[in-house]
Amino acid sequence: MIPDEAHGVIGLQPSACTSCMICVRECPTWCIELESHTEEVSEPGARRPKTINVLDAFRIDFGLCMYCGICVDLCPFDALAWSPGFDHAASSAGGLVHGINELVNWWPATNPSPAD
């Protein structure tokens, strides 16, 4: 029986991620990669359009990750969370690199989405 709060794998909630790069820069093993671009959005009533970061790609290489949890602790937007998932073994090193699609699936069911 694996408890819900087990540190098995890391999940991402892309809608909460602001592409701030904090996790990428603080990860001791350099195993997070993020690609993003900026877009201008104009809101009704605002004088100038504001610039927002748009997340394009987010990858964690679980072959390099040492499961220290620094990224989870430091994310100011709670976009990263521990998940009890554990069955992410792969038959090749590349299979351990999880992109947004895989990381979303790891988002723990017990966690409310911070974006909601």
Site residues (CB under 6 A) for ligand SF4?
A: 17-23, 27-29, 31-32, 34, 60, 65-71, 75, 77, 79-80
Tell me: does residue 80 bind another protein (CB under 8 A): no
Residue 103's contacts (CB-CB under 8 Å, 6 or more residues apart) are 10, 11, 12, 14, 58, 60
Cβ 45 to another protein shortest distance, Å? 25
Nearer to ligand SF4, 21 or 41 (CB): 21
Q: How many CA atoms lie within 13 A of 28 on its CB side?
A: 7
User: Hey, what amino acid is at 55?
Assistant: L
SS3 state of residue 109 = coil
Interacting residues with another protein (CB under 8 A): 19, 21, 24-25, 27, 30, 32-38, 53, 56-57
